[in-house]
Amino acid sequence: MKLLYALLILVIVFFAGGIEANKTDKSNKTTEERIRDEIKVWEQNWSGFPINCRRMVDTLSSDGVVEYPVGKNIIGGGHKRIFNRCEAFITENFSQMINYAHEPVYIVGREVAFKRTTVFVTKNNCRLYNTGIVTIKYDKDFKIKQLKDYFDADDLVSKFQACQFPGSELPDINAEEKPTEKPVEEPAETVAQDKKQDKKEKTKDEL
């Protein structure tokens, strides 16, 4: 029993030490090293099969804003709204997305710029590629406060259209996932009156 207790203590100390070491490791890193780590997080969370919009949104600060593409589509309003936009546009039209960040990476303070390549796979298994320049501004907790993606939107639309059957409608980049409508419940008074009326009619029939 004593041996088991000692073993349990050792396990707890080991894991606690690992967590503390991880915290210390992060705090000892330079801003540039932290940002390079976060770029890897961006690559992982903004890629997926199936696409996981929640993981994408988790990389943003609570007031994070995404411009995709820059100058045409600004997405903000909190995590829930950005998640809904992601579900309605990206998840609705693509089954897989893979993002790659390329060197050189330019870092100034908590801001970074780099070239990226995105591989999209449509619902009908057509693969298309898109390249752009991404700039990211991080907050003090290294969450994305602002992400801007510079790319040729017309080129992406043209490639997407080439993957579709003739006559297919193009997706709405401004679409938002609509909440599921709940059935309308009748007021309790109305239900009670209906039951009373049914009882009266039943009594008349018996007479």
Of 189 and 99, more confident: 99
The per-residue pLDDT for range 110-126, each reduced to its tens digit, is 999 999 999 999 999 99
Q: By CB neighbour count within 10 A (0-12 exposed, 13-18 middle, 19+ buried), where does 159 fall?
A: middle
pLDDT at 11: 43
Indicate whether 78 belongs to any domain.
Answer: yes
Question: How many CB atoms within 10 Å of residue 204?
Answer: 8
E strand intervals along 45-195: 60-67, 74-75, 94-108, 111-122, 127-138, 144-150
Indicate whether 188 belongs to any domain.
Answer: no
Indicate whether 189 belongs to any domain.
Answer: no
Task: Residue 124: give its domain's CATH number.
Answer: 3.10.450.50
Indicate whether 20 belongs to any domain.
Answer: no
Of 207 and 50, more confident: 50
pLDDT at 161: 92
- Closest by alpha carbon to 150, among 115, 121, 111, 109? 115
pLDDT at 105: 98
pLDDT at 27: 74
What's the CA dihedral at 138, 139, 141, 142 to 10 degrees? Answer: 0
pLDDT at 87: 94
Indicate whether 70 belongs to any domain.
Answer: yes
Q: How many domains does the chain have?
A: 1
C-alpha–C-alpha distance, residues 113 and 107, integer Å: 7
pLDDT of residue 201 exceeding 80 = no
C-alpha–C-alpha distance, residues 49 and 95, integer Å: 7
Indicate whether 21 belongs to any domain.
Answer: no
Distances in Å between the alpha carbon of 8 and those of 5, 12, 17, 20, 46?
Answer: 5, 6, 14, 18, 39
pLDDT of residue 148 exceeding 60 = yes
Of 184 and 168, more confident: 168
C-alpha–C-alpha distance, residues 7 and 162, integer Å: 62
Q: Domain limits at 126?
A: 31-179
Q: Residue 165 — pLDDT band, cuts 50, 70, 90?
A: confident
Indicate whether 192 belongs to any domain.
Answer: no
Indicate whether 198 belongs to any domain.
Answer: no
